[in-house]
Amino acid sequence: MTERHTAQPFAAVAAGKDRKTGAGKRFWRRIRKPLAQSRLVKGILATLLAQALRFIRLTNPLAKGSSNLDEAHATLTPAIVALWHGQHLLAPCIYPKAKGLVAMVSRSADAELNALVVEKLGFQAVRGSGGREGTQNVEKGGARALIALKRALDAGKNVAMIADIPHGTPRQAGLGIVTLARLSGRPIIAVAIATSRRKVLERTWDKTTINLPFGRCGLVVGDPIHVAADADEAEMQRKRQELTDTLNVATETAYRLADGERK
């Protein structure tokens, strides 16, 4: 058999594999959007994710030197809990369910699953954005969310917000959360959570960290940051930077605790 004739069967097999792969991709593209829009599918995924987070929390006892969350809750409630993007996944499982919490979740389609997970874990989610980076302007959806969060604070509940702006500068607080503190008169509390076993998604803009089971959990609650009702633009910027610095220090400390290092 010639080399040409020998190569033909292999070429045919490769072509067949390419056709199958192409057909598989076309099939996935056809079903991907309907699946993403299916409330049933999203509900199932949210339930599975909530159970996974509960398991991860259960298998990561608090590291020595971690903050006492019950004490902070009793002393500071109602308050605004501030977290960084990509470092917040375990937050709903750390916070005591019986004490209630209202969390702001982005209005983006990608964040809808996050909102469902928050609700599966027993907390209330409001949809909105904390405002554009470097400005005091809050878009309409964000303004409605801030009003809902202020009402929750007025009712004596704690609320939670992601401090940095989606796809903005990671670990740089926006003004939305500072605006809520000024309007409500309630303090901002920087909270950081880290686990000794983790997977960092390096290609994500915020270096999203996936917490893994069977390790230690470092929890740090920062000192309260108060914003005066008459704070001007310059003072708002100072408070924004203070929150940025406090939350970054808390995050570094949480990682040291999780990794077995002293404060």
Mean pLDDT to the nearest integer, 3-27: 56
Least confident of 10-24, 83-97, 102-116, 119-133: 10-24
- 190 - beta bridge partners? 82
In the predicted structure, residue 214 carries a pLDDT above the cut 70: yes
The average pLDDT across 91-98 equals: 86
pTM: 0.82
CATH for 44-258, options being 1.20.1250, 3.40.1130, 2.60.40, 1.10.3470: 3.40.1130
For residue 61, say if its preceding peptide bond is cis, omega within 30 degrees of 0. Answer: no
Q: Indicate if the pLDDT at residue 10 is higher than 70.
A: no
* pLDDT category of residue 19 using cuts at 50, 70 and 90: low
Residue 164 phi/psi, 5° resolution?
-90, 160
Domain ranges of the chain: 7-37, 44-258
Most confident range, picked from 37-46, 80-89, 139-148 = 80-89
Task: Return the minimum-mean-pLDDT range out of 7-11, 34-38, 179-183.
Answer: 7-11
Angle formed at CA 125 by CA 119 and CA 129, multiple of 5 degrees: 145
Q: What dihedral do alpha carbons 205, 252, 69, 224 form, nearest 10°?
A: -90
Question: pLDDT tens digits, residue range 199-211?
Answer: 999 999 999 999 9
Give yes or no for residue 54 having a pLDDT over 70: yes
Banded pLDDT at 189 (limits 50, 70, 90): very high
pLDDT beyond 90 at 251: yes
- Asked if residue 140 has pLDDT above 50, the reply is yes
